[in-house]
Structure 1
Amino acid sequence: MKSTDNKQKWTKQRKFKRAIATILLIQMLTAAPTAIWAEGSDANTSATNTSVTTTDTSSNTSANTSNTSSTPAADKAAEIVVPAIPDLAVKSAVLLEPTTGQVLYSFNSEEALPPASMTKMMTEYIVADQVKEGKIKWDDVVTIKENAAKQTGSRVYLAEGEQYTVKQLYIAMAVGSANDATVALAELVGGTELNFVKMMNAEAKRMGLPTAYFANSTGLNIADMPEGYRPDSDKETVMSAMDAAILAKYIVDDHPDFSDFTTITSYKLRDRDKDPIINWNWMLPGNASNTYLKQFAYPGLDGMKTGHTNAAGQCFTGTAVRDGVRLISVVMGASTEAKRFTETAKLLDYGFNNYTIKKVSAAKSTVPTAETVSVKKGKQTSVPLVTDQDVNFVLPKDVDPSGAAVSVNIDNKELTAPVKGGTKVGTVTYSFKVQGSNAPIQQTVNLVTAQDVDKAGWFKLFMRAIGDFFHDLFGSIKNLF
C-alpha cells in the first residue's frame, strides 16, 4: 500500500515538471521571433551561428582538455643508438653541428685549457663585426705601433711606422697566424690591446662561453708579450674545446664570408718578400696538389684556426661541409703538428659518415593534440595553432625522425579578440632518447596562432549569447525527464 502511494506521488511530480517545462518552452518559442528575427534577413545567419557556436564550443572544450596535458613524454621517444666513436689521441675534443647546436662527440670538452692561437678567432670575429657595422673598412690604413712591432712567435715582421690596410693585416692574421698583425688590428679597434681584450671578454660573456678568458689578442703566454704591454693580472688565456666550437659557430653564423680568408693557402704581404705567408691549416683542399701536404687535404674543409704553444700543445678548430651539412670540430693538446690534423679528420669522418640532418617537423605544422585555441569575442570562436619554425635534428642515418616524442605545453588556454597571427600560446618540445644517457636531445619551438581573428560586432556577439542560452536551457530541460 505504501509502495503504491509513493508511485502515485512520483507520477504526479513528473507530470507537474512536464507541465512547467511545456509552459516555459511555449513562452520562449512565441517570444523568440521578436528577439531573433527582428533583423529579418539575418534570421538564417543567426540560426547558423547558433549551431556553429554550439559545435565550436564543444570542439574547443575538447581541444583545451587535450592541450593542458602533455603528449608522448620523452621516456616514450625512440632511442638513438650512438655509432661507435673514434679514439682520439688528444687532451680534449668536440664535434658540433652549428644549425642545431647538437654535440655529436665530446671528450673532456668542458675543461679550460690554453688555446694558443685559436684565441685569434675572437679577434677575427670582433674585427669582422666592426667592418660589418661600418665602424672600420677593409681598405682603411693602419699604422704599426711599438706593441705590434715587438711581438714574438708567429709573425710577419711588421716594423713600427709601416702602414697596411685592415684587409692585409686580417689575411696575415687568418692565414699566417701573425701575432704582430693581430695586435695592430686590436689596437686599431680598441685604442690599446688591453682595451681590446676587455671587448674580447665581454663578447665571450655575451656568447655564453663559461670557461673562456682572454689575457691578450693573440694567445701568447703573458711572459712572451712585450714588456710594458702586459696585463696587470697573471691569469693566462684559457678556453675549453666546447667554447672554441661555439665561438667558431658564431663566426660561421654571423660572418659567413669567413672562408674568403681562411681558405687562402698562401699570401704575399709585400712585394719585397721573398716567400709568401703559408697557411698553417694543412687540411685545406687547396693542398691536394702539394706533395708534402696532400695527405692531410680534406674535401669540404674551409677553416678555421690552428694554435700551438708549449703549454697548449697542438690545437685546431676545423670546419667542413659535405652534402650541405657543416660540422665544427675542435681538438686540443695533440702531440704533433700532423696529429692535430689526423685526429680532426677522424672526428669529421665520424660525423659525416654516421649522421645527417633530418626534419622532424616543418614550420607552420599543426600538432594533433593542440590544433586550436578558443577565442572570446572574436568573429571566430577558435583559431588554428601552428609551430613557428622547422624542427631539425642531427640523427644517425638509420634513425626514423617520426620517432620523436612530442610534449605540448599551453600557456594561454583562451585568447580575447582581436588576436594577431603569430601570437604565442605555448610550446612544443620534440625529444629523442640517447642510448647510455639520462638526458634526451630535444628542441622546443613555439605554438602560435595561424591567422588574425578580428573582434566580432555587437550583433554577432548578441546572437552567440542567445545561442549559448538556448543550448544551456535545452540541456537543463532534458535533464528534467
Structure 2
Amino acid sequence: MLKLIKQRLVWGLVLMTAVGGWLSNSQTAQAASSKADEVKAAYVMDAKTGQVVYAQNADQQLPIASLSKLMTLYLVERAIERGQIKWTDTVPIQKNVRKMATSATLSVMPMPAKENFTVKELFAATLVGSSNSGAIALGEYVAGSNAKFIKLMNQQAAHWHLDASFISASGLDNTDLTNYNLKLKGTSEQGQNLVSARAVTIIAQHLINDYPEVIDVANQRSVKIHKYTVPTSVEILKGEKSYDPRVPVDGLKTGYTNQAGACLVATYQQNGRRMIATTLGGAWQFTANNNLRLMLKTTERYQSVVPKEINYQIPGTTTKVRLVTKRNTTMWANSKQPLTQTKIALWPLHRTEPNYVAANTAVLKVRLTDPLSGTTQEVVYRTPEALTMLGPLQWATTPAKRTVTTPTGAYAFAK
C-alpha cells in the first residue's frame, strides 16, 4: 500500500489531561489516520483543462468496482444524444437481471416483473444508488446484449487511449456475475474490471463535461422511483453522515468489492474550478479522498505562472529581446512544492555574424513541471516582429533592432 498523504495532515488528536494518556491516545489516533489515508492509487484533475494536480500510482490497472458504472452511464448518455434511445423509453429487463434485483447484497431496489422502468429511472438508480441490475439492464438496452455492451465499453476506452479492461457493465466481478449467467465468455472465474486511476478520472471528465446535467442527478441524497426510495451511496454529500463542510462535494460515484477495496470519484469546486478526485483501493470509504482534497485546498492555487510577454536576455550576452506567447499561462501551482521551470533556447544564435530573426520565430521554450503529479506543460515564446541581432562586438552595448518589413510581409529567417 502506498501512503496517500504523507507529510501534511494529522487528524483526530484528543487533548488529555494526563501526559501519559495524551501520548497513548495520540499514537492511536495517528495510526488510525495513517490507515485511513492508505490507498492503492489516486488522481486529481481540473475537469476543464485536464491539468493533473496530484497523481499516485496513476497508471496501474486496478479493480474499480462500481466506478465502472461511469462508463456505462456515459454510453447511455451518448446513445440518447445520438437518438438511439430516449429518456422516456421503457427498458426491457431480462429475468436474470430481475433476479439480481432481489438480492439483499447486490441490489438497492427490486424490479418485479409487473413493473416497468424507464431509461431515466434506471439512470438515476444507477448513478445515485449504484444499482447493479439497473446498469446491466441499461447496457443491454443500448447495445442489444450484455456482451455487445461490454464490447462498446472497451471500444470507448481504446478510443480514449485508456488503461482499462472491462468485463462487466456494473462493476461486479465474476464471482457474483456467474450466479446470474452474466459472466462474459472467455473471462476467468475471478475476472473483474481493471482500470487505472487516471483512466477512470478521464471517464468521469468526459461524462461531466459532455453531459453536465449528470452533476444535478448525482447531487441528490436519494431518488424516488415508483414506491422505492433509493438512497445515495455518496455519503459525503451535504446532509449525509460523512459530509465535511471544509471540502464539500456534489457527486459522483462510489465503488466497493472485497478485491477492489473502497473506491471513490468525487466532484467538487475549488477556486471556482470544477475538479475531480479519484482514490482506489482504500481501507475506508471516504477518509482518504476527503483528506487529499483538504490537503490540496490548503496548498494549491489556480494562478498565472508565466506571463504573456517577457524581456528575454540572449544567453551569453547582455542583449534582451521582447518575446510573447499566445496568452498568460494560468494553472494550478502548489505553495509547498512549486512548479519547476526549465528554459530551453530554440533559436540558434550565431556568435560571429549578425542574426536576422523573422516575426513569429520560436526563440524560447519554458517547461513547467509539477512535482506532485509529475506532469509537464510547455510554453513557447516567439518574436512579435522581425529583429536584427548584430554581431558579438555590439551585443554588450547595442539592443536588438526591429527589421523594417517589406510590403509583402516577407522576413529573413535565422539560419
TM-score by structure 2 length?
0.69
User: Paired residue for 1:316?
Assistant: 264
1:267 aligns with 2:223: yes
1:394 aligns with 2:332: yes
Contact 2:63 2:195 in 1 (8 A): yes
Matches within 5 A, 1:27-46: none
1:146 alignment partner, one of 85, 91, 95: 95
2:186 alignment partner, one of 207, 212, 233: 233
Task: Deviation per CA, 1:208-264: give whole Å up to 9, x if none.
Answer: 212x11101001111312544321122421112222222222223222222111101
Residue type of the alignment partner of 1:182 = A
Q: What is the number of equivalent residue pairs in this alignment?
A: 339
1:345 aligns with 2:280: no
1:285 alignment partner, one of 212, 229, 238: 238
User: Paired residue for 1:125?
Assistant: 74
Higher normalized helix content (fraction of residues): 1
Distance (Å, rounded) in 1 between the aligned partners of 2:253 and 2:286: 12
User: Paired residue for 1:359?
Assistant: 304
Q: CA deviation at 1:90?
A: 2.3
User: Paired residue for 1:202?
Assistant: 155
Residue type of the alignment partner of 2:270 = R
User: Paired residue for 1:432?
Assistant: 368
Task: Deviation per CA, 1:452-477: give whole Å up to 9, x if none.
Answer: xxxxxxx967xx99xx9xxxxxxxxx
Q: CA deviation at 1:204?
A: 1.1
1:185 aligns with 2:138: yes
Q: CA deviation at 1:160?
A: 4.0
Q: CA deviation at 1:170?
A: 0.5
User: Paired residue for 2:206?
Assistant: 250
Residue type of the alignment partner of 2:277 = S
Q: CA deviation at 1:134?
A: 3.2
The structure, 1 or 2, with the larger RCO (C-alpha pairs under 8 Å, 6+ apart) is 1
Q: CA deviation at 1:341?
A: 1.0
Q: What do you get for the CA RMSD once the two structures are aligned? A: 3.9
Distance (Å, rounded) in 1 between the aligned partners of 2:248 and 2:383: 38
TM-score by structure 1 length?
0.61
Q: Whose radius of gyration is greater, 1 or 2? A: 1
User: Paired residue for 1:175?
Assistant: 128
Residue type of the alignment partner of 1:356 = R
Distance (Å, rounded) in 1 between the aligned partners of 2:382 and 2:376: 20
Contact 2:97 2:133 in 1 (8 A): yes
Task: Deviation per CA, 1:72-128: give whole Å up to 9, x if none.
Answer: xxxxxxxxxx99455522232233333343333333333222111011011111112
Distance (Å, rounded) in 1 between the aligned partners of 2:232 and 2:183: 28
Change (3 A) 1:161 1:440: closer
Task: Deviation per CA, 1:126-184: give whole Å up to 9, x if none.
Answer: 11222233332222222322343133513422134632221111000001100111111
Change (3 A) 1:123 1:436: closer
Structure 2 unmatched ranges of 5 or more: 10-33, 314-321, 348-355, 386-405
User: Paired residue for 1:137?
Assistant: 86
Q: Identity of counterpart residues, as a percentage?
A: 27
Distance (Å, rounded) in 1 between the aligned partners of 2:306 and 2:86: 42
| SS at structure 1 position matched to 2:290 | helix
| SS at structure 2 position matched to 1:150 | helix
Structure 1 unmatched ranges of 5 or more: 1-81, 288-292, 371-383, 417-422, 451-458, 469-481
User: Paired residue for 1:456?
Assistant: none
